[in-house]
Structure 1
Amino acid sequence: MSAASCLLTEDQFLCSICQDVFTDPVAIPCGHNFCKTCITKHWNVNVPYQCPNCNKLFYTRPELQVNILISEMAAQFRQSAQHKASSSSSEQQAAKPGEVPCDVCTGTKLKALKSCLVCLDSYCETHMEPHLTRLGLKRHQLIDSVENLEGRMCTKHDKLLELFCKTDQMCVCMLCTVLDHKNHDVVPLKEEYEGKKTELGKTEAEIQQMIQKRRLKIQEIKHSVELSEEDAGREISDGVQIFTALKKSVERSQAELINTIKEKQRKTEKQAEGFIKELEQEISELKKRSTEVVQLSHSEDHLHLLQIFRTLNTAPPTKNWTGVRVSPPSYEGTVRRAVNQLEETLSKQMKNLFEAELKRVQKSAVDVTLDPDSANPWLILSDDGKQVKTGDVKKNLPNNPKRFDRCVCVLAKQSFSSGRFYYEVQVKEKTKWDLGVVRESINRKGKITLTPQKGCWTIWLRNENEYKAWADPPVLLSLKSQPEKVGVFVDYEESLVSFYDVKSAALIYSFTGCCFTEKLYPFFSPHPNDGGKNSAPLIISPVNHTE
């Protein structure tokens, strides 16, 4: 039996309910063991009957029989543990420098284990024994061994400091309460000790919370730097590709662009490194204070705790990091601004630049057809669903929820909720039109406001040459030529909607920072034919990729 039990660990002899060595262990049908009293009390309270370990249900209360083998092994384990504890306690050590020596030992001073607040002496294990066995001495208060027990006496009255004056926030003796601290709010030292210990626990929790917040802030800053690095890499790659196409005439500008982007990134990293260094310093200080608070909170020395409580109860000075952010630098338009600076000398190459950009977005071309179920009754759609114009007669069509009843517009059948897509629309010979994308939940009844706030990202033509982007407020567009074919490009993840003049390969306008939360549908409005002046149709054209 002894040899077998030596192979088992303490956890195998512990009841999971009382967390102590088994007493009258019983096994229930699922195989788990508990003290007979523990599982009986558990089932008296909890119905239906369930195993506290694996939660297996028993529809009838199992009969409990003491497992004799486990009971004997637990008893032997308990006896072995007690023997080891007894043997360990008998091994006394001589007091080392810095340790409290026994005041009673003669010759070699052994290490003191406890100090008596009544006798004002410290005792090793042997000389502490009378305080544990004699009735009169057992009433004395023992604490972990400390030096300078005389410091626990009132210097004025030579009495034990056993009370705390809350009025003057100091430890006092019994005579102090009658003389110097009469009518003050005085409580037993232990009562104030417990209160302060509770406050220390709260302080420790607050410090740990502050540490956790700063660790999360470090993660947030590092993540921001990673995103910034990705943006910088992507922007550098695009910049290199564009400026390489411009050959030697723009090599110097290419280098300047890269240096500008890298400098922004370096500044971002430097700022982040400064924040991280400052946060890590605060964490180091907080950890140090946390260790001191934990050590103090475990002290049984009432006076020591109260004397230094005020210095440790407050966290060291720290910075409020709530509003601190490392914002990745904006690269929006960086390449375009660099090219604009060279406009006087590179006007011929500018067309090549936009042609390259248009070529890239044309790779996202999709097939788009018009949805007759959404078309306003005044509209005429071609059989192939590629053309729409406004007729002179209103059709008698069912007013289904998808149909626009007042605005002469129509949506595509296709919707998009991720990725990129591109399509082209011929607007040649028209004097009025609206084009763009709208979210699925756009209002289709009554008057419609085509603004981003209403889920619409569109541009329009009025009076033959008045072009505007339906932003809030609308943006007047200055175009060098009237587009005959408009390309519409959407990047759902990048929250971007861009419009291009396909023939001149020029960017007309871009909506950035769009709020996409639903499916997006291509939107078309040919407007009334205006007595024939605006009778030409809008035509969804096949995309001819630039060679």
Structure 2
Amino acid sequence: MAVTGEVVKELQSEITCSICRSYFCEPATIGCGHSFCQACLSSSWRVGAPVFSCPECRQVSQGREIPLVNRRLAELTRLTKELSSKLMQSTEGQSQCVTHKKPFKLFCEEDQTALCVTCCETPEHGAHNISPLQEAAHKYRRELQNIQSHVGKHLKEDEELLVQEEKHAMHWYWMIIEQYCQTHFFLMEKESQFLESLKEEEKASQNRVSQHMQRLQDLIQELKEAGHQANLDLLQDANQLLERSKALLAQRVKPVTPELREYPIPGLIEMLNRFRVDLTLDPRSATSYVIISENLKSAKAGAGWQLERKSPKDYAHRYVFAEQAFSSGKKYWEVDVTQLPQWILGIYTRYLRRKRVRNEDSCASVFLLQCVKKKEYYYLQTYPGALDNQMKGPLPRVGVYLEYSSGTLGFYNVLQSSVIYKFHSIPFTAPVKPIFSPGPPLPGTKPGPMTVCPVDSHFCACCHFSQ
């Protein structure tokens, strides 16, 4: 069967994209059966609504991924374009219309076909835009050259843009690496300084004790030698030796309560704030000793709570609990104790693993940090634990960090961005509840509140000293 212009036109309609109105370029077929250029489809999907509908039938597609190229349709497009070209060359070679046996001299813009004079007089082409064949060919060559120039220009611009994007990305890549290296170096330098300072303090303390020990050893040796002296020689030196011995014994080195060290760690509180949680106090835990505010954010010592010299574990009825309990993850909260000279913070867990010979037992436990004021000094103590450090001034805000999986509980001086004390390897087996105790209050003083800080509350030295 001979291939006619009508057959070619039918094939052309099947291989034309309804979006760009041109032959398919890498055609892709979507779920409804309609096909489009893959690039046209991709462009439509990027600018579309959250769900994608077919540009032709508006049927909603279930997927959002661009379909693969329809190879059969791509091959049909290629063959049709070749056939159309050959048919055009054949008809141009014949230079006449097959139907009317007249030479082709005109071109129909709408149907994209060559016509003879008789063809353009038929009703089929009556309303179409008809132009001379050579003029139409020259026009399309000019448009194709113009498009080619624009495409080449855009391609060059995209290549330059790609190079700029790569340079920009690499600039940021190396700048971030350099900044992290500087930060690591800065932190290592600070760490080295703090460790060196600790060593110097330890060495000074040891030298003080060592020097006193050396003086005692020298005295012992001198006393031994005096005991072997002749009576007359002994009596001449005995009184002076006894006086020096008494003076040295009076200078006996006494244990000194160490002062709380404040070594700021840059970025410490910022890092802990990543795990910040919003706590509220449990109103059911309030007693006549501890009053909870209406907004469940503050606790205050009630009237009648007198100062008692007991271990923190004996204050169980003077604690209040948070409503929240934690059994996983990393949690951090801050407590404002600016108006309290004495306070207790920590956690309570109902059960802990306790290994025995044949089985495991459980016990209730608390882990606490307590602040006690004696005369002009403040003392920080832990229960359990060996911390007993003194401070010249109170702590305005304390941070508490809990890491359930590793059994870590840390207390932090938020103002100085430094560590106060850390419990390690607590064998948690049950949920953990934060606990708070705004006392015991000092006799003759008006107790202030202990406040759980909001999640978006941040504390710094300038804010504290400006109060």
Whichever of the two has the greater Rg, that structure is: 2
Same fold (TM over 0.5): no
**Could you state the TM-score of these two structures normalised by the residue count of structure 2?**
0.38
Q: Which has the higher contact order (CA 8 A, sep 6+)?
A: 2
**Could you state the TM-score of these two structures normalised by the residue count of structure 1?**
0.33
